[in-house]
Amino acid sequence: MIGRICGTGSYIPKVAWDNNKLSEMVDTNDEWIQERTGVVRRHIASGEETTSYMAAEAAKAALADASLAPDEVDLILVATISPERIMPSTSCEVQKKIGAVNATCMDVNAACTGFIFALNTAQAFIGQGIYKNVVVIGAESLSNLVNWQERSTCILFGDGAGAAVVRAGETGHYAQVTYSAGNGGNVLTCSSRNQKQFEEQPKAAETYMQMDGREVFKFAVSKVPEVIRELLDREGMQPDEVKYFVLHQANERIVRSVAKRLKEDIGKFPVNMGEYGNTSSASIPILLDELNKKGELRAGEHVILAGFGAGLSYGASLIQW
């Protein structure tokens, strides 16, 4: 059995901060941010818009798109690094909010590669005949982890959620290549906010995201095209057989660099980080939902999803729509 995506959904917080808003908080400006990242604005969760709330809203939209009832869901997988609480899991909170009473629930933490790792996990369960209907979600409230006085990171990140319904079928094409590089994990970190760290004030900064942007950039522009080529070679395919390359939306310069290294037209690399910034595990499913809603994805076409993030982790998945 092979899992086919039969529905997508997303949720974007109502409040948006543009670059001019950030210029009131740190020494920066709209031109500088756009030139280096491609980000124009980012959406910030507030009030009831917790990670689990956004995840549930995205899941509801995906289920409606798939014409699937909540009680038909067998498994809920939520990729996140920014839950509102350690336990219960975000996936269990989603189950409660959407009424998926028959679903097993599990969270996945692979940072910005999280949705791809969760999608692969869904495929493994479906392939073994364990589950038939799986909801895969990427949801983040990164505004809670960002130091809004740190210019190098606060300009990048935003909040949101995206979801896909994956249903078992006898036909289709799915393949994946994923890796982890734990030895490089120190270039992108965020420590747990436990009481001991709050008492030790010098360590408080570590509870916000810390990133060596230069090293992350080098890692991404090297590993993403490498893993995409490996995946295509393994499947005996050429890049021109792929309709879209849906990359993690971290930085427009990274996307352009990957396109150049693959020698593919930049038009095959859709982007939306201008509106949302980097939403970590939510970025790929939000973009996938946008493409689906616009009618850009047609049955039988191949799409590659590729991401990279903390861990370090990276990978690519080939899906047939």
For 64-118, write each residue's pLDDT tens digit. Answer: 999 999 999 999 999 999 999 999 999 999 999 999 999 999 999 999 999 999 9
- Domain boundary (115, 150, 171) is at 171
Do 165 and 179 have their domain in common?
no
Is the pLDDT at 29 greater than 60? The verdict is: yes
Which domain does 110 fall in, by range? 2-171
Residue 81 near residue 281 (C-beta atoms within 8 A): yes
Determine whether 67 is exposed, middle or buried from the number of CB atoms within 10 Å of its CB (0-12, 13-18, 19+): exposed
Per the structure, the count of domains in the chain is: 2
**Reported confidence tier of residue 196, pLDDT bands at 50, 70, 90:** low
**CA-CA distance, 84 to 176, in Å (whole number)?**
30
Contacts of 225 (CB under 8 A, 6+ apart): 258, 261, 262
Do 82 and 154 have their domain in common?
yes
- Domain boundary (171, 188, 205) is at 171
Do 163 and 134 have their domain in common?
yes
Do 191 and 91 have their domain in common?
no
What does the mean pLDDT of the chain come to? 95
Do 76 and 105 have their domain in common?
yes
Do 151 and 6 have their domain in common?
yes
Do 210 and 265 have their domain in common?
yes
- Domain boundary (126, 142, 171) is at 171
CA–CA distance from 125 to each of 3, 167, 265 (Å)?
9, 11, 35
**For helices 30-37 and 252-262, angle between their N-to-C axes, nearest 10 degrees:** 30
First to last CA, the chain: 15
pTM, full prediction: 0.96
Residues designated catalytic: 112, 248, 278
Is the pLDDT at 205 greater than 90? The verdict is: no
**CA-CA distance, 145 to 244, in Å (whole number)?**
31
Do 236 and 163 have their domain in common?
no
Do 150 and 192 have their domain in common?
no
Is the pLDDT at 4 greater than 70? The verdict is: yes
Do 167 and 183 have their domain in common?
no
Do 219 and 292 have their domain in common?
yes
Residue length of the chain: 321
| Order of strands across the sheet that contains 302-309 | 174-180, 313-320, 302-309, 244-247
